A and B are shown apart, each in its own frame.
Chain A
Amino acid sequence: MSESNETSGRHADVDIAGVDTVVAEAAAPERDIAVKVGDDLVEVKNLTMRFGGLLALDDISFTIKRGEILGLIGPNGAGKTTCFNAMTGVYKPTSGQVLLEGRVLNGVKQHKITRAGLARTFQNIRLFGEMTALENVVVGLDARHKTSVIGALLRLPRHTREEKSAIERGMALLEFVGIADQAATLSRHLPYGSQRRLEIARALATDPKVLCLDEPAAGFNPAEKEELMQLIRTIRDDGYTVLLIEHDMKLVMGVTDRIVVLEFGKKIADNVPSVIREDPKVISAYLGEPEDDFA
């Protein structure tokens, strides 16, 4: 875990103490995952998504291995977010399957997909503006809670227990992403960078097996982007599996273990970053056909 300590030191300007191992421990996922580290946790099989005449996703297949950071990249309009939405149940795929630990997610309701262990953030921040940062995170934690309406009404023991543990774990998660000082601030009053981090904390709160981040660094300057990438690494080191959509290819190269490249709804490459970097198809998708002085 030495790397995690080192990386956490880098966003120490948000929290002087940095993310210490105690916090990392408290924020770590709490449940058993049936798949071993390195095996396929999520399988996307022949996923096709059609909107009327538009073929947004064309027969996409890839896997996410437990414990890795998988990058999903592609130029604007390549179908990255559509792929996300089809995986997390926002869209119903035209054909194909998404499997989590071998369990088919097609047709499962969104909130059940989240409970099954696939959590996501949004490209355009969608926090609950009238709630404090801590409350936002606790909503995520509630995905694992079992208090019923009657239990809450009469303040039964389980409610008390869950409320207390939620505060502790919620604060630990805020600490983990580096915004614990702003726990009591309404989320719409938070600075932009903190909002992005809060979105990640809220998604982590659902105790996901796979954390899907949709352009978490959008609107960040290079320094902030670098900090965020460190956070994502820390999250992975803490035992989460991460699917990262990112637009900025240079950035994604540094943080991911493997990259899937989409263009016009088709998968054009799936490999480790060093190979992707040299792949002529990927280069032409991003830069157009290479010119002499560019390549």
Chain B
Amino acid sequence: MSMVDGPTPLHTAKADQAAEDREAVGTPPGSSAAVRRKGWFGGLGEKWQELPRQKQWAVLIIVVVLAYLLPVINPPLISTEPGNDFPLACQTMAVWALVAVGLNVVIGYAGLLDLGYIAFFAVGSYVAAMLTSPDSTFLKIPYLWTIPVAMAVTMFFGVLLGVPTLRLRGDYLAIVTLGFGEIVRILATIIPAMKGQVGFQNLGHPPGLDAHGVPIFANSNGTPWYWLTLTILIIVLLLAGNLERSRVGRNWIAIREDEDAAETMGVPTFKYKVWAFAIGAGIGGMSGALMSGQVGFVNNQKFDVVTSVLFVAAVVLGGAGNKVGAILGGALVAYIPLRFTAIADYKYLIFGLALCLIMIFRSHGLLAARQQLLAYGRHAYNEVKARTDAKSAKAKAAPGKEASL
């Protein structure tokens, strides 16, 4: 969005006031063009920031309710049927959205290009499989417990990968993570306990039977799985928001913007990069556990590099750095091949082209909003805004003075 814009108007200002002001002071040359250039999703993010808190909550509640009802409503044009079962498609989309939110912490916030994110997804899947499938020789725990366990184990792997590699930067880090993605897949093939291509069947699922004595969380019943994943997604979003508007988020963005300057300003860059990796990994592991629980089967075939690149594509497509954008990107990348089955075979071609177009026309992704990095910034910005308003009013009253401002 804003790489090319003119000076950004204050985010928290009321829209009408801001517009009035621009007219009064005279628009800086870049900004009107910038507003036009933003196109479809246009100043959506900024408009959102300008809404009062209560309205934001009202809109959010409606969106959340609609999201929960999505598989029940099964809207005709959006539906993936008859090609694919829509509730299951919703579950896939939710898992991809969760993956994208996790990867967004690593790529979007901390600016660390991780091409091997699939490894964490795989670790999470295998944790769920090996702790619930009857094919595994490990101890068994209830499925729902595998979600936090998967998260903890993948966080450990995140730190394990991060500590030696996060001294590298940019392309070098990307190559190492790419290697890590492959290592996990190959380990799954050669370690006997992980059962390679044979894999694990009949993974556990959350408890509960419906009126007919069929498990509520059956493999073919997408809706409850979708609700479970969506609930976790919402919790993750809230927590990610907390991190964003804190010291942690600021430090990540500072690292992304200029790592050396961040270090000089007292940011322990290495520590925060490892944290970003660990948190991203934890979310990836959780999504792996959720995906494999619904599918009910895990083997080494699904965790290839191409999927890993699709994860990155989802984040970049949606808007790196913006968690809502990441959800959109993740859901879209999952949705398009399911909805348009005729073109599913060409999905890499299509996503490739889409990425090229995005890079040319919207280099910050579909939904590029700037991060809000201060928990209590709204108030301060409003005050500044009020002051500059008062000042420009004064300048209007005494035109001679305007030049000196």
- Using CB atoms and an 8 Å cutoff, list the residues of chain A in contact with chain B: 13, 16, 88, 90, 109-111, 114-115, 119-120, 122, 126-132, 134-135, 138-140, 142-145, 147, 149, 152-155, 159-160, 162-164, 166-167, 170-171, 180-181, 183-186, 189, 202-203, 206
> Can you list 26 A-B contacts (CB < 8 A)?
A88-B264, A110-B264, A111-B267, A114-B266, A119-B265, A120-B264, A122-B261, A126-B260, A127-B258, A127-B261, A128-B257, A130-B370, A134-B377, A134-B381, A140-B265, A142-B267, A143-B266, A145-B247, A153-B248, A162-B247, A163-B375, A164-B376, A180-B384, A189-B5, A189-B6, A189-B8
Find chain B residues with CB under 8 A from A128 CB.
253-254, 257-258, 261-262
Whether B373 is near chain A, meaning CB under 8 Å from some CB there, is: yes
Task: Find out whether the CB atom of A143 lies under 8 angstroms from the CB atom of B391.
Answer: no
A171 contact from B269, B380, B405, Cβ within 8 A: B380
Task: Find out whether the CB atom of B242 lies under 8 angstroms from the CB atom of A114.
Answer: no
Find chain B residues with CB under 8 A from A144 CB.
266
- Which residues of B in the span 305-338 have a Cβ within 8 Å of any Cβ on A? none
Q: 3 tightest A-B contacts by CB?
A: A143-B266, A152-B246, A114-B266
- Which residues of B in the span 235-269 have a Cβ within 8 Å of any Cβ on A? 239, 242-243, 245-251, 253-254, 256-258, 260-269
Find chain A residues with CB under 8 A from B246 CB.
147, 152, 155, 159, 163
| CA of A114 to CA of B250, assembled, Å | 17
Query: Given A130-B257, A181-B387, A184-B381 in contact, is the A206-B265 Cβ separation under 8 Å?
Result: yes
Task: Find out whether the CB atom of A181 lies under 8 angstroms from the CB atom of B374.
Answer: no
Task: Find out whether the CB atom of B8 lies under 8 angstroms from the CB atom of A110.
Answer: no
| CA of A145 to CA of B379, assembled, Å | 21
Query: Given A111-B268, A128-B258, A131-B253 in contact, is the A159-B381 Cβ separation under 8 Å?
Result: no
B243 contact from A126, A153, A160, A203, Cβ within 8 A: A153
Q: Which residue on chain A has the smallest CB distance to residue B12? A: A184
Q: A88-B264, A129-B257, A130-B253 are in contact. List 11 more A-B contacts (CB 8 A).
A: A128-B262, A140-B266, A142-B267, A145-B247, A153-B239, A160-B375, A163-B246, A167-B377, A180-B387, A185-B8, A206-B265
Find chain B residues with CB under 8 A from A129 CB.
257
| CA of A131 to CA of B379, assembled, Å | 17
Whether B2 is near chain A, meaning CB under 8 Å from some CB there, is: yes
| CA of A122 to CA of B262, assembled, Å | 12
Task: Find out whether the CB atom of A138 lies under 8 angstroms from the CB atom of B384.
Answer: no
Whether B388 is near chain A, meaning CB under 8 Å from some CB there, is: yes
| CA of A171 to CA of B266, assembled, Å | 19
The distance from the CB of B394 to the nearest CB of chain A, in whole angstroms, is: 9
| CA of A239 to CA of B387, assembled, Å | 29
| CA of A11 to CA of B105, assembled, Å | 41
Q: Which residue on chain A has the smallest CB distance to residue B269? A: A111
* Most chain A CB neighbours (cut-off 10 Å) among B6, B269, B374, B388: B374
Query: Given A131-B254, A181-B384 in contact, is the A152-B377 Cβ separation under 8 Å?
Result: no
Find chain A residues with CB under 8 A from B404 CB.
13
The distance from the CB of B264 to the nearest CB of chain A, in whole angstroms, is: 6
A131 contact from B239, B248, B250, B267, Cβ within 8 A: B250
The distance from the CB of A2 to the nearest CB of chain B, in whole angstroms, is: 25
Find chain B residues with CB under 8 A from A184 CB.
10-12, 381, 384-385
Q: Which residue on chain A has the smallest CB distance to residue B6? A: A189
Find chain A residues with CB under 8 A from B257 CB.
128-131
Find chain A residues with CB under 8 A from B375 CB.
155, 159-160, 163
Task: Find out whether the CB atom of B374 lies under 8 angstroms from the CB atom of A135.
Answer: yes
- Which residues of B in the span 341-395 have a Cβ within 8 Å of any Cβ on A? 370-371, 373-377, 379-381, 383-385, 387-388, 391
Whether B275 is near chain A, meaning CB under 8 Å from some CB there, is: yes
Find chain A residues with CB under 8 A from B373 CB.
131, 135, 138
Query: Given A145-B247, A163-B374, A167-B377 in contact, is the A155-B242 Cβ separation under 8 Å?
Result: yes
Query: Given A147-B247, A152-B246, A160-B375 in contact, is the A111-B384 Cβ separation under 8 Å?
Result: no
B interface bracket (residues with beta carbon within 8 Å of A): 35 or more
| CA of A268 to CA of B375, assembled, Å | 51
Task: Find out whether the CB atom of B7 lies under 8 angstroms from the CB atom of A126.
Answer: no
| CA of A206 to CA of B265, assembled, Å | 7
Task: Find out whether the CB atom of B377 lies under 8 angstroms from the CB atom of A139.
Answer: no
Query: Given A16-B391, A159-B375 in contact, is the A138-B250 Cβ separation under 8 Å?
Result: yes
The distance from the CB of B225 to the nearest CB of chain A, in whole angstroms, is: 26
Find chain A residues with CB under 8 A from B388 CB.
181
Q: Which residue on chain B has the smallest CB distance to residue A154? A: B242
Q: Which residue on chain A has the smallest CB distance to residue B7? A: A189
Task: Find out whether the CB atom of A167 lies under 8 angstroms from the CB atom of B374.
Answer: yes
Find chain B residues with CB under 8 A from A159 CB.
246-247, 375
Q: Which residue on chain B has the smallest CB distance to residue A17? A: B387
Find chain B residues with CB under 8 A from A203 CB.
265
Find chain A residues with CB under 8 A from B5 CB.
189
Query: Given A181-B388, A183-B380 in contact, is the A139-B242 Cβ separation under 8 Å?
Result: no
Query: Given A127-B261, A155-B242, A189-B8 in contact, is the A142-B250 Cβ separation under 8 Å?
Result: yes
B384 contact from A110, A114, A183, Cβ within 8 A: A183
- Which residues of B in the span 173-224 have a Cβ within 8 Å of any Cβ on A? none
Q: Which residue on chain A has the smallest CB distance to residue B248? A: A152
Find chain B residues with CB under 8 A from A155 CB.
242, 246, 375
Find chain A residues with CB under 8 A from B12 CB.
184
Task: Find out whether the CB atom of A202 lies under 8 angstroms from the CB atom of B243.
Answer: no
Task: Find out whether the CB atom of B265 lies under 8 angstroms from the CB atom of A143.
Answer: yes
| CA of A129 to CA of B253, assembled, Å | 10
Q: Which residue on chain B has the smallest CB distance to residue A162? A: B247
Q: Which residue on chain B has the smallest CB distance to residue A206? A: B266
Task: Find out whether the CB atom of A186 lies under 8 angstroms from the CB atom of B250.
Answer: no
Find chain A residues with CB under 8 A from B268 CB.
109, 111
| CA of A111 to CA of B377, assembled, Å | 25
Find chain B residues with CB under 8 A from A114 CB.
264-266
Task: Find out whether the CB atom of B265 lies under 8 angstroms from the CB atom of A167.
Answer: no
The distance from the CB of B5 to the nearest CB of chain A, in whole angstroms, is: 8
Find chain B residues with CB under 8 A from A163 CB.
245-246, 374-376
| CA of A203 to CA of B254, assembled, Å | 14
